[in-house]
Amino acid sequence: MQREEIFIGGSWAPRTGTVDIEGISPHTGEVISRVPEASAADIDRAVAAARAAFDDGPWSRTSPSERADVLRALGKAIEARGPAFADASTAEVGTPTNVSLMIQVMPARFTIDSYADLLEQYPFEEDRPGLLGTCRVVQAPVGVCAGIVPWNVPLSQMATKLAGCLASGSTMILKAAPETPQAAYLFAEVVEDLDLPEGVVSVLVAGRELSEALVRHPGIDKVAFTGSTATGSRIGAICGEQIKRCTLELGGKSAAIVLDDADIESVVPQLLPVAFVNNGQTCAAQTRAIVPRPMLAAITDAMAAHIATMTVGAPTDPATHVGPLVTERQRERVEGFIRSGVDQGARLVCGGGRPADLDRGWYVEPTLFTDVDNSMTIAREEIFGPVLSVIPYDDVDDAVRIANDSDYGLSGTVWGADNARCEAVARRVRTGVVAINSGLVGDVKNPFGGFKRSGIGREMGREGLEAYLEPQTLVLPPGAE
């Protein structure tokens, strides 16, 4: 794919910069796309268009039902082009083709539809008793928003941010990662076909320096970011300086607590896909398996046996379970964590190297460590690759302590024979989402986000909509209705 235009305010505009972004195949290391990097002038144009659309245009004054109609059209258009989006994820990210639709297209469609459903019932105006009479609380759109999305699941992230923003009546500049230009341009083409007023949506592709320029832009009212905790900390600091609203969905080091009554043969095949999905490149990956000490050997052996059946290979092959990492830089980072695990005394059970039969591409074998102490680097840092650490515990209190002994708190799971007992344990874990006997570590109809350094605010559900709303209180005169 090669493009020369930039999508600004709902239509294609000539580029103003001279720098190109090259998309690189993680499977071959070859260039597969080339698009313009957005310049500072492009950001100014996009913000000006969004500002005009919000301040003077009709979008902020549309009814909830009108916005719901637009969202439903967006969801249908994404589903119609689902195979193209799935292929882009496989080509750019290395997502195995057998899960691309499941982790990209389906969540995008369901998230958009859930916001459309919410618009049909959400109380945008509510009369409440005041000190001397009635107060009318109105939920107003927050304004012009910047949506900054990561490379790992670009479609579902663009859909999540744009759907919440449009549902509120706000406008948005989406900034896609330089690793995934194909997904960004496909998304822009879908938005182009919507019946949206001029200026409501722009889609730009740019690196970190231009992303900071977008965050700092005085015309931006709110920033919605998904990505690393380090970058989120920087964005949060800028927003704090400018008293600018922000939602930050950041890193994770999620714990899967296996209770002593769990059925190993049932749990392991469900747990491992949640650890290695998208080649381990998901923020909600269950990368710490916290298991009863008497069951440590049995669970480790079962995991190793299951991993041995997983195929590592070309992401376009339907038989592949684990594909390449997104960039050579990311592979080097993951390999550094693996070395640290060995150096610090964890026992490498399987994996840890590059597949011998793949002489190109950024591949790392699915890797299992056991005898891991929670103080080790591999248990504390987000690796973002196919690496799972097994940590033993002595009793349930110890399991909860280990799970909570983390800078992060994004997701988690609890596995056991008694759902009520699992729920009691889940309530003690300081994390944003906990799935019980399930690998579904998020539900698009309900809030998703993290405790601690995993972020600020929530996306999806009622809370996700409210992140794009400003409550305004109208104090009515005494006796007014």
The 10s digit of each residue's pLDDT in 253-300 is 999 999 999 999 999 999 999 999 999 999 999 999 999 999 999 999
Point out the catalytic residue in the list 165, 239, 246, 283.
283
In the predicted model, is pLDDT for residue 481 greater than 80? no
Distance CA 79, CA 107 (A): 10
Q: Tell me the pLDDT tens digit for each residue of 16-68.
A: 999 999 999 999 999 999 999 999 999 999 999 999 999 998 999 999 999 99
Domain annotation covers residue 34: yes
Do 320 and 395 reside in the same domain of the chain?
yes
Do 218 and 290 reside in the same domain of the chain?
no
Do 268 and 329 reside in the same domain of the chain?
yes
Active site residue 239: no
Structural contact between residues 284 and 330, judged by C-beta atoms closer than 8 angstroms? no
Domain annotation covers residue 321: yes
Q: What pLDDT does residue 74 have? A: 98
Distance CA 154, CA 159 (A): 8
3-state SS class at 374: coil
Structural contact between residues 325 and 362, judged by C-beta atoms closer than 8 angstroms? yes
Domain annotation covers residue 169: yes
Per the structure, the count of domains in the chain is 2
- Residue with tokens 């499941």, as numbered in its chain: 102
Domain that holds residue 435: 254-444
Token digits of residue 114: 């859930």
Domain annotation covers residue 357: yes
Q: What pLDDT does residue 195 have? A: 87
Q: Tell me the pLDDT tens digit for each residue of 185-228.
A: 999 999 999 989 999 999 999 998 899 999 999 999 999 999 99
Q: What share of the chain is helix, strand, coil (3-state, %, to 5)?
A: 40, 25, 35
Mean pLDDT taken over the chain: 97
Structural contact between residues 279 and 323, judged by C-beta atoms closer than 8 angstroms? yes
Q: What pLDDT does residue 169 have? A: 98
* pLDDT-derived band at 241, boundaries 50, 70, 90: very high
- Residue with tokens 């005085």, as numbered in its chain: 218
Domain annotation covers residue 409: yes
Do 278 and 236 reside in the same domain of the chain?
no
Do 239 and 315 reside in the same domain of the chain?
no
In the predicted model, is pLDDT for residue 243 greater than 90? yes
Do 181 and 221 reside in the same domain of the chain?
yes
CATH number at residue 281: 3.40.309.10
Do 211 and 264 reside in the same domain of the chain?
no
Domain annotation covers residue 460: yes
Domain annotation covers residue 467: yes
Do 95 and 131 reside in the same domain of the chain?
yes
Point out the catalytic residue in the list 37, 249, 365, 466.
249
Do 364 and 239 reside in the same domain of the chain?
no
pTM for this prediction: 0.96
Give the CA angle between residues 244, 249, 255 to the nearest 5°.
150
In the predicted model, is pLDDT for residue 479 greater than 90? no
Do 183 and 49 reside in the same domain of the chain?
yes
Do 259 and 227 reside in the same domain of the chain?
no
CATH number at residue 461: 3.40.605.10
Q: Tell me the pLDDT tens digit for each residue of 410-448.
A: 999 999 999 999 999 999 999 999 999 999 999 999 999
Active site residue 283: yes
Domain annotation covers residue 417: yes
> Nearest CA to 367 among 351, 355, 356?
351
Mean per-residue pLDDT, 170-182: 98
Mean per-residue pLDDT, 337-358: 97
Pairing of strands 222-226, 31-36: unpaired
Do 86 and 194 reside in the same domain of the chain?
yes
Q: What pLDDT does residue 57 have? A: 86
Q: What pLDDT does residue 219 have? A: 98
Give the CA angle between residues 181, 187, 193 to the nearest 5°.
140
